Structures are given as C-alpha cells and as structure tokens.
Structure 1
Amino acid sequence: MTDMLPNPLEKQPPAPFSILHTEWSDGWGGQERRILSEMTGMAERGHRLILATRRQAKLAAQARKCGIETIDLPFSGKFDLRSILPLSRLIRRERIDIVNTHSGIDSWVGAFAARLGGAHLVRTRHLNLPLHRHWYNFVHFMAQRVVSCGETMRRNLIDNCGFPEAQVVSIPTGIDFETFVAQRTRAETRRDLGVDDAAFVILMVGIIRSVKRHEVALRAFARFHASTPQAVLLLAGDGPMRGDMERLAQDLGLAGTVRFLGYREDVPDLFAAADCALLTSRSEGVPQAVTQGLGCGLPTIATRVGGVPELIEDGKTGLLVAPEDTEAIAAGLSRFAADPDFAHRLGAAGRAHVHRHFSRAAMLEATERLYAEICGRALPPHGRRGS
C-alpha cells in the first residue's frame, strides 16, 4: 500500500498569518487590554503571534501568561537602531506577514523594521487625538492601513488630519461577552466591599489620570449625594492622580462614601454589584469600560466625547452629558435612582446594542479580513470560526 502524497496541482488552503505586534507603552489600560485580546484571539484562530515590547511593560507579562511569544527591545526612540535592526532580522527570519504597531515610538521603529524586513505594515490608533500626516511625520505615510477603534475616530483622521479615506478602517474594540461575566452574586460582592444592600452604587472603571476627569465625577457625586445619602461611588483603577483624588474626596466630605478600589481583576463582579456606571472623560476612543458595563446590562452615564456616541444613544441605550457638566451628571444619577424601570430599560437596550456590534468575534473577523486584503490572499478556513 503506497502512502498518499499531496497532489501539487490540487489547490492548498491558504496558510495562517504570521503577525508581529509592537507596543512601547508600559501601562495596563484599555489599549493594552485590546492588544492582548486581539493577539490571543488570533492565536486561537490558528495564526502565529509575536509581541515586541519593553521589558518592564505590563503587557509583556500578561502576554507571556497567555502563551504569546514575547521579545524585549528598548524602544528608546524613533530611530533606535538597537530595536530596528533586531526587529527587521526577526521579521525576515520568521517570515512575518504583518507588523501591527500601536504607540508613538514603536510605530516609528516598527515601520522601519517592516520596510527593511519586507513585511506589510498596519498602525492601530487607540486615541482620538490629532495624528497629522506631514513630511516631518512621514511614518504616517508608511502604513498600508491605519486602524481606528471607532467610526468617529476614523472620520477625525480623514476629515481633520489629512489621511486618505482608503487608508483608514474602523475596527471597534470587541469584548468577549461569553467570558466577561460575574463570578459572584451582587450580594456577595457588596458584602465583600462593605456596601449595604440598600445602597445606590455607582461604578467608574478607569486609570486615575487627568483625561478621565475623576474630579468631575467626585464633584457630580457630591451634588447627587446631598439628596441621596445612601449612595456610594466605587472607583476601580489606579493611576498617577489617585492621591489627589483621595484628598479631593476628603475635602468634599465624601471620605466614607467614595471607595478607591485600586486595580481590580473582578470588574464583572463590580458591574454586577452596581446600579449604574459612569464615565466622565474629556477625551476617549471607544472606551472598553463603557462597552463592558453596557454588555452587563448596566445603565450608564457618559460624556459625549470621541466614540462614546457609537455606544450610547442618549435616552435609548444610556445617557450622554457634556464634558465637565457636573450638574447634568448629578441629574442623570438622580433620574436613574428615582426611576429604576427607566434605568432598566436603558440597560437592556445598551446590552443588546453592544452584544450585536461590539463583540470580540466581530473585532477578530474584521481584523482577519483586513490582513487578508493587505496580503492579497484568502482567509484560512480556521479564520472563519466564531470566537
């Protein structure tokens, strides 16, 4: 009996992609979480993933825990040859198809390395801030595609920053709603937090830094708390302004009703224990904390910035307020507290909206289609699976 040999004339299925992500950031926020979710999701679909980042980056440790091959580079500047040359050699040696960059310095290093190594280049833009194409920012001409995390960000890059429409594609950050679920009951989490069952609990999730405007949240909560003394504000997250915000809470007389929880791994449990979610940022892309809260069915009040209106239609899937408007935020909180049926309707509508349009599977499928288009080949069969 002879062994069956592959027929060279028979069309072979397309091979998986080899993808290299680069990230300069040392932090651990929505941007880094999206990168990790995308990498692990693409690996689950059979693609090969490598991450190049700095040794001290929190993303590096998280990626290694998830089995992602990770290399450490200094990324010490735009023209850092100690990073560019090793990266270009890795691209050639490992036959990388796509280099996907994410932050400022690594986008320069990754662009040069991709050009030297012969790989396609994609830049993901996570922030809704200006990114102008100009001769002194020639790196923005080098990427075949720029991925924005929402349509509002995409239009900003095209209309206000000079990017050609064909270069920019919107792929919103997707949440794996099948795994982002509470592991404890509402009562259990409240008991662990020392929060009374009858309390009206507001949850804000995010790094405590200036752009998130925790000061606005605290001042709005002070207004609301004056008429609803059983209310509690939970702030999940850490950051450079935590000390300042703790002092402000003390000055506002809120020390006993504002809880600074620090970094938490049990965010789904916190959402389940809360009555509503809050975002007071002055700038955002498409914030994962809002997507997650809505995905858990939590009524949400958020500032009308960046891609937030893609998640929330005011009065239908949540409440939108102007940035810095403490009075409007307090009024929204009062409305939720006084009318639980209204809050529940908005929470249910928000959940349906984000489950339909902002799932992890949708993000991965759109990413695979983009890579296939850039590489000029069909999707591998395993790349068509759900997630």
Structure 2
Amino acid sequence: MAYRILHTEWSDGYGGQEMRIIAEMQEMRKRGHYVALATRDSCMILQKARELGFDTYVVPFSGKFDLRSILQLKKITQENNFQIINTHSGIDTWVGGLASLISNAKFIRTRHLSNKINSSRLNFINELADFIMTTGESVKEAMIKDNRIKSDKILSVPTGIDEERFAPMRYDKQKSRKKYNIPQEKIVVGFLGILRRFKRFDNFVSLAREIHKSYPNVYFAIGGGGVGKEYLDKLVCGYINENGEKIESAESYVGRIGFIDNPAEFLEAIDIFVLTSDSGEGVSQALMQALFMEKICIAADIGSLKDLYCDNNFILTNDATLESFIKALIDVLKKRVDIKINREFMVDNFSLSSMGNKIEGIYKRLLEC
C-alpha cells in the first residue's frame, strides 16, 4: 500500500540531519510512496528537495506556538491528503505535532541528535507523537528514561547508506587525490562533516599539528563547509593564542577542501578517517560512509556511535579528548592495532534498504492497524 507523507524541517543548514531527510524521502519515493517537504524559504534543504523533484511548501515556522504556521500546515495536510506528518527539528516538531492534532494526520517525530532533551512536563510534544524514530539506540533509551516515551512507541532507525554509491571498487584513489589536490605519496588522514563546533574540527587541526612533529609524511584533509569555515581558516593559517604565542601556519600539511559534493570520492582519497566530535552525534553519517568505504576509522564513544562497532571494525576511544585521538592515531600509524574491516556488517544493518524496511513497518503499523 502506498502512503502520503509530509516531512517538516526548520533548520537552515545542510548537514547529516538534512541529508538523512533527503535520503529517506528518496528511498520512500522509490518504494512507491508520495513524499513532500514543508520548510522555511531560507533553508538549504528546500533547494535540494526541489532539485530532486519533490513537491515543497514554504512555511514560516516562526516559533513553537506559531498559530499561522500551525493552521497553514493543517491546510496543506488536509488539502493534499497527507496521512503522516514527520517532523525533525525542535520548532517544526511543535508546529507539526500540533497541526497533526487538528488535521487527523499521524505524527511521527524523528530525533537525530544525542544531546539531552529537557525533561520538563511542559516539554510534552514528544509524548504527543504517535511514533518516534531515533538515529541511534542511546538516543532511544534516553528518551524512554528521561522523556516519558513508551518503549513500544519508539524505534532506532539509523540513516541508511547507499551501498552502491559507497563502494570502494567504484573509485580510483589517484584520481580522487588529484581532484581534491591531495598529495599522492602521503598517508592521508581525513575529516568529513559540516563545520559545526561540536564536530571539534579544532581538535582535528590540533591532532594534525601534534602528529606532524613526528610523522611528516602524514597529510590531513578536511572536507566540509558551514558556519565554522572562518574559524577553521584561522586555526590552519596560524594565529596568536591566549598566551600571546604565535602559532605557525599548518597549510603545508592540512588541506581545507571545502564542501564535498561526492563524499564517497573524497573518502576514497584518504587512508584513515577521524571523527573528532565530542557531543551531538546520533549515529554519524560520515563515520558510516567511511566504514562502507572500508577505511580505518577512529571515533569516540559518544552518542550512538557504538551501534556501528562490531568486533574491532574501527577504533572507539573511551573519550573525545585530543590526547585520546593522538594515541589512537599513533597506534594506527605504528600498526599496533588489528582493525577488522567489516563492510558486510554495515550493509546488513545500515543500508538504505534496511532503513526503508524499518520505516515502512512503522507506516504500516500506524495506518493499517
């Protein structure tokens, strides 16, 4: 049976959360469902959805109790016979959730991040949801424990990765390095992600500075754009620190690639992937993509990143400190660790088809039972 689903998004950026929404919309459309998007006119996801041929609606989403947006969303839902409103960020979750109450649509709330949700009884919108999807197990368990969510109304549905696109045999390392101006002869350590503070790209640059002292043959490549670009430029190009000391430029061994239009191709160009995030992650799409591309990966045990861990398939540090990342990378460079690449585990549990099957099961439960 085909369903009609309206996704909502308030966020301006275009990072992992927004990419997840687009990937989910594409997978559900491929399965025969009608999927559309309601978002603000300033949001980057709006243009992406239009480029892909999805119907879109511009809604102000000016605040949690924005009556104009609630009524507009109600009208959109009823006139287009949407059966489900699937919300994603804080403000659009309040607006979409309240609109669902007066439009008779089912309300699905997707929670992407791992930071704690206010447990106040006044923060009741999640409890109104007919169902909640999270991107990781730890997020699910926290909402059950802290936010009064019933265990039978919530499920972890990790973002699915396109296994055909993220397949190392499809790409040529030399060509990929040439495209991104990465030295051919170096060992390349990469970072990929939108430049937000919780990604701690500052620690990645500090990691590069420290490792370069003893391993001059290691090159560091940072892929991604966003609001932190100016800060990143300062960190790489050199600056005066709080003690008045001059920090020299690292431009000769730290490359700033900017926005990456083909993450798989960028990942093929590197040898080691390091995710320096210290908070905020559900299950990192960049880490999943790197594991699909069979890269040696290093990340901290935060959020739901442990969901991706299977019998030493990557290094999961106990904390997200710079010291832990330095030690882990040195262990890799000195070949002290036995990483067991396991693409089959990733395909079985984190592919687009796996995600799509879980989501269709939720739709069927809500609309046919």
| Deviations 1:72-114, CA, capped at 9 Å, x for gaps | 1111111212211121112112221111000111011101111
Question: Match for residue 158 of structure 1?
Answer: 144
Question: Match for residue 288 of structure 2?
Answer: 291
Match of 1:136 among 110, 117, 122: 122
| Deviations 1:158-214, CA, capped at 9 Å, x for gaps | 123332222221111110111234664111122233333220101111111210111
| Deviations 1:248-296, CA, capped at 9 Å, x for gaps | 2222542211111111112111111111101011111000000000000
Question: Match for residue 242 of structure 2?
Answer: none
Report the AA paired with residue 52 of structure 2.
C
**8 A Cα contact 1:99 1:119, kept in partner:** yes
Change (3 A) 1:323 1:242: farther
Question: Match for residue 13 of structure 2?
Answer: 27
Find runs of 4+ consecutive structure 1 residues off by over 6 angstroms. none
| Deviations 1:22-75, CA, capped at 9 Å, x for gaps | 111111000000000101110111111111001121111111111111011111
Aligned: 1:222 with 2:209: yes
Match of 1:172 among 147, 158, 180: 158
| Deviations 1:333-373, CA, capped at 9 Å, x for gaps | 22222329x56x43x22x23211210111101100000110
What is the aligned-residue RMSD (CA, Å)?
1.8
Change (3 A) 1:184 1:354: closer
Counterpart of 2:124 in 1: which secondary structure? helix
Report the AA paired with residue 347 of structure 2.
H
Aligned equivalents of 1:333 and 1:241: distance in 2? 24
Report the AA paired with residue 338 of structure 1.
K
Q: Percent identity?
A: 32
Question: Match for residue 264 of structure 2?
Answer: 268
Aligned: 1:357 with 2:344: no
Q: When the two structures are aligned, how many residues end up with a matched partner?
A: 358
Counterpart of 2:123 in 1: which secondary structure? helix
Change (3 A) 1:135 1:254: same
Aligned equivalents of 1:43 and 1:78: distance in 2? 29
Report the AA paired with residue 281 of structure 1.
S
Report the AA paired with residue 367 of structure 1.
I
**8 A Cα contact 2:106 2:366, kept in partner:** yes
Q: Within 5 Å, give how 1:1-387 maps onto structure 2.
A: 15-181=1-167, 184-249=171-236, 250=238, 251-283=247-279, 284-313=281-310, 316-339=312-335, 345-346=339-340, 348-349=341-342, 351-377=343-369
Q: Which runs of 5+ in 2 are unaligned?
A: 239-246
Counterpart of 2:82 in 1: which secondary structure? coil
**8 A Cα contact 1:176 1:359, kept in partner:** yes
Which of structures 1 and 2 has the bigger CA Rg? Answer: 1
TM-score by length of 1: 0.88
Aligned equivalents of 1:191 and 1:374: distance in 2? 50
Q: Which runs of 5+ in 1 are unaligned?
A: 1-14, 378-387
Aligned equivalents of 2:344 and 2:214: distance in 1? 32
Change (3 A) 1:113 1:222: same
Counterpart of 2:291 in 1: which secondary structure? helix
| Deviations 1:271-329, CA, capped at 9 Å, x for gaps | 1111110101111100000000000000100011011111124x711101244422221
TM-score by length of 2: 0.92
Counterpart of 2:158 in 1: which secondary structure? coil
